[in-house]
Amino acid sequence: MRKPIIAGNWKMNKTPEEAAQLVKDLIPLVKDAKCDVVVCTPAVDFAAVKPVIEGTNIKLGAQNVHFKESGAYTGELSADMLKAAGCEYVIIGHSERRQYFGETDKTVNLRTIAAVKAGLKAIVCVGEMKDEREAGYTDMIVMYQTQMALHGLTAEELENVIVAYEPVWAIGTGLTATDEQANETIGVIRKAIAYKFGEEAAAKIRIQYGGSMKGSNVKGLMAQPEIDGGLIGGASLKAADFAQVVNF
């Protein structure tokens, strides 16, 4: 039985003061959650959030990680730096990183390996564009992205990997895949993992849906057998809204 995981991706939102207040408001609302709860904050908020969530069921995550341990990579953070700041999770390959900042399947793979080898839990994002879905390429794209992202890992190391299916056309648009569409594509992702790592590994790995999941649609999505949680964007920026998803 896979334990659900709900992770909030705050993106480029919240000053340290605002971040601390958000998690203070969130703690009593999700203290009895039956799923793992993660908040992936801007790096500037780590120091404000970490002491507030200490001893609670909320874990801290980052939104990106570099694949080198150190060096001349201005603006980047290594896996060891994230761990030292209190992070346990990190998002890798989000569609916005791919779209705006030149992220590729190769760099997603390098970042994933670096994160897992350092002991972080990697939330690895895959997903198709609107025109790709309309052209019938969804299955091909998510299978390739998944296998490429996880290349070089062992089946045992997949225990520290969560895959997030993010149809790019549903990110920040208000559009959402139907429950059945999301479940079907996540099933394809699971098959891609089974092909590369075996049926047991595929059955164990948790796969989230990340396309505008919110309080109004979480129950239908989470009722699907292949969906193990959500990577939540806009709905994670208000404690009550995020709690509604966490307590589905």
Q: Which of 205, 241, 204 is nearest to 8 (CA)?
A: 241
Cβ-count burial of 149 within 10 angstroms (0-12 exposed, 13-18 middle, 19+ buried)? buried
Which string of DSSP letters, residue by residue, matches 193-232? HHHHH-HHHHHHSEEEE-SS--TTTHHHHHTSTT--EEEE
Distance between CA atoms of 172 and 168, rounded to whole angstroms? 9
Distance between CA atoms of 205 and 87, rounded to whole angstroms? 21
First to last CA, the chain: 17
Distance between CA atoms of 172 and 50, rounded to whole angstroms? 27
Distance between CA atoms of 102 and 202, rounded to whole angstroms? 29
Active site residues: 94, 166
